[in-house]
Amino acid sequence: MRQFFKRLERSLKLLLLAAIRQLFGHAPSRSADLGIVERIVLIRPDRIGDAILSTPAIEALRKSMPEATIDIVLGRRNRTVAPLLPFVDNVFTFSRRPWRVAELMWRLRRGRYDVAIDMLLNDSITSALITIASGARQKIGFGGSFSALYQSVVARPTRPEHHVPILLRLLAPLGIEAEPAGASLSIKLPAVAVDAARQILKDLAAPGRRLIAVNISGSSPAKFWGVPQYVHAIRELRAVGFPVIVLGALADYALVDRIARDSGARALSPNANLAEVAAVLSFAELVVSPDTSMVHIAAALGKPVVDLVPLPKIGAEFGPWGVPHRIVSGIDRMEDIREHEVLDAIYGLIGKGCHGQTVEAQSSGALAASRSC
C-alpha cells in the first residue's frame, strides 16, 4: 500500500510539474546572455548538511555579484539551518501542503528572478517544480530526468567526488569559475546563541580546558556506533584530561543521557535550536560525529573533525571539507570501527590532553602512553 501511494504521489507531481511548465515556463533558450543579474534564487529543499555544503557556492556568488539579491528555498527537513546561512537575503520554506505550495509559487513569481539554480545533484521532482515555478529567465541544474527544463545543464560527475566542487560547477553558466582549493564552508552564529552556549558549558569551556564534543546521532540507526564503544572511548578521553560533552538528536536523548552518565561526561540537554547546538560546537577543540550535519557544521566552524562512517567510500563525497580531519570507517557497518582507531584519530589531530603533547612528539605507543597520563 505504501508503494502505491508513493507512485501516486510521484505521478501527481509529474502532472503538476507539466502544468506549471505550461503556465509559467517557456521554451528553454540556451543563450547565456543575461545582462545584469540582480535577483537569484537557490533551490535546496533537502538536508541540513547539504545546505551547509552549498555555502562555498553561495559565497562565490556573493563575491561575484555583491549587489544581487540571493534568496534560497529550503524544505521541511532543513529549514532549521536558516539562521546559520550566510550570504543570503531571504529564506523561503517548501511545504507539501497545497496552500503552502501555492503561496511559495506566488512569492517566487513576485520575485522576478533572473536566475534560479536547482542545487540538488540527484533527480528531484520537488526541486524541479520549484525551479520552473520561479519563472526565472535562466534556470540552471544538473543533467538528469529534468534537463530539458533548464537553459543551462551541468554534467553530473562520473566518479566519486566531493560535493563542494560539484556544486561550484553550477556557477560556470554565470561565468563564475570558483576554485575548490580556496573554498571553505561557512555559517554565521547569532550572538544570542553564542551567549546561550556559553551558559550551557560554563566550567567545561573554561580557559585551558580542551573540550571535545561527541555527537552520537546520525541520519539513521545504521550510523550509531554503539553505547559500549562511545562509553569506553569517552572514558579514555576524560582520563587524559579532556572534558567531553555528549549530544544527539532529540529522539536519541535517552542514549545521550546514558552514554554521558556511564562515561562521566556532560550531556547536552535536548535542544531543538540548531543555532545553539552549533554554538556549543564552536567552543569545542574537536568534534567526533557520525557522517551527518554535525560534521559539516563543525567544519564550517573550522573545527578538526573525526568522522565515523560505516563504509570507506562515504567520505569521498560527503566528508569534512576544508579542515583537519580523520575519516574512520567500518568494513560495512559502524560496529566494525574499533575504539583505538577513534582515539588514535583524535590524538593525531589535537594531541594528548594531559600535558598538551602531540602524538608525533611521543613514542609509537601513543595509546598506551595516553592511559598513563
Q: Can you give the three-state secondary structure of 122-151, one letter per residue?
A: CCCHHHHHHHHHCCCCEEEEECCCCHHHCC
Q: Which helix (H) or strand (E) is 41 found in, with range?
A: strand 39-43
Q: Sign of the C-alpha dihedral, residues 22, 23, 27, 29?
A: negative
Cβ atoms within 10 Å of 96's Cβ, excluding its own:
10
pLDDT by 10s per residue, the chain, length 373: 666 656 666 666 666 656 655 554 444 545 456 678 999 999 999 999 999 999 999 999 999 999 999 999 999 889 999 999 999 999 999 988 888 888 999 999 999 999 999 999 998 988 998 999 999 999 999 998 888 889 999 999 998 899 999 999 999 999 999 999 989 999 999 999 999 999 999 888 777 789 999 999 998 899 999 999 999 999 999 999 999 999 999 999 999 999 999 999 999 999 999 999 999 999 999 999 999 999 999 999 999 999 999 887 777 788 999 999 999 998 889 999 999 999 999 999 999 765 433 333 322 233 333 333 4
Which cell numbers hold the place of 339?
Answer: 575504539
Report the number of secondary-structure helices (H) and strands (E) in the chain. Answer: 14, 12
What whole-number distance in Å separates Cα of residue 298 and Cα of residue 286? Answer: 8
CB 364 within 8 A of CB 344: no
pLDDT given at position 369: 34
Residue 5's pLDDT is: 57
Nearest Cα to Cα of residue 308 among 287, 334, 346: 334
Q: Domain spanning 191-372: which CATH class is it, in words?
A: alpha beta
- The CA angle 307-122-14, to the nearest 5 degrees, is 145
Per-residue pLDDT at 97: 84
Which contiguous run of DSSP H or E holds residue 4? Answer: helix 2-24
DSSP run (H or E) holding 72: strand 69-74
**Residue-level pLDDT at 20:** 53
Instruction: Tell me the C-alpha distance between 360 and 112, whole Å.
Output: 57
Sign of the Cα torsion 309, 314, 320, 322 reads: positive
* HSE-CB of 274 using CA atoms within 13 angstroms: 19
pLDDT of the residue at 1? 61
Model-wide pTM > 0.95: no
Q: Which CATH fold topology does 2-182 show?
A: Rossmann fold (3.40.50)
Query: Do the domains 191-372 and 2-182 match in fold?
Result: yes
Q: Which of 367, 196, 348 is nearest to 271 (CA)?
A: 196
Contact 134, 21 (CB under 8 A): no
Domain ranges of the chain: 2-182, 191-372
* d(C-alpha 317, C-alpha 166), whole Å: 10
CA 310/CA 328 separation, integer angstroms: 8
Residue pointed to by grid coordinates 560527475: 157
DSSP state of 366: H
C-alpha distances in Å from residue 180, one per residue of 56, 88, 171, 225: 8, 20, 12, 32
